[in-house]
Amino acid sequence: MVSMTFEAGRDMDPVATVKLCGAGWEINIRAIPAEFARLTGIRDTDWETSGSIGAGTCAGAPAFWVQHEGNAVILVGQDDETWDFAVTIPLETVDEIATAASATVPV
């Protein structure tokens, strides 16, 4: 099970933070909400053929999001082919992130 917390940017800092936690791990990703909102398209990605969605940074490196075998994989590193570490989460968790982010993006 993965726990997700979305904190929208405040005042002069427009950057939002997504905190994802599982048994024995935690990852924090920062991005403007519009980047997280683009994750609604994750089901149109495929690790093997169609690339990923770049959204946010983690530990100073870009984060890339891709659908693989019915889950979402977050790849953290300089690009989505030579990443440094990856975390697999349910696609439904990405839906929650995109929904929370979309609610904060001005129309």
At 24 the pLDDT is 93
Q: Where do the structural domains in the chain lie, given as residue ranges?
A: 3-102
Average pLDDT over residues 36-57: 94
Distance CA(59)–CA(23), nearest Å, equals 20
| pTM given for the model | 0.92
Please write the tens of the pLDDT for every residue from 12-44: 778 999 999 999 999 999 999 999 999 999 999
Question: Residue 51's CB: how many other CB atoms inside 10 A?
Answer: 14
Torsion, Cα 57 72 44 75, to 10 degrees, reads 40
Q: Between 9 and 79, name the one with better pLDDT.
A: 79
What share of the chain in percent tops pLDDT 70? 98
Task: Please determine, for residue 11, whether its predicted confidence score (pLDDT) is greater than 80.
Answer: no
Please tell me what DSSP assigns to residue 40. Answer: G
Task: Please determine, for residue 55, whether its predicted confidence score (pLDDT) is greater than 90.
Answer: yes
In the chain the beta strands, taken as DSSP E runs, fall at 3-7, 16-22, 25-31, 53-58, 61-68, 71-77, 83-90
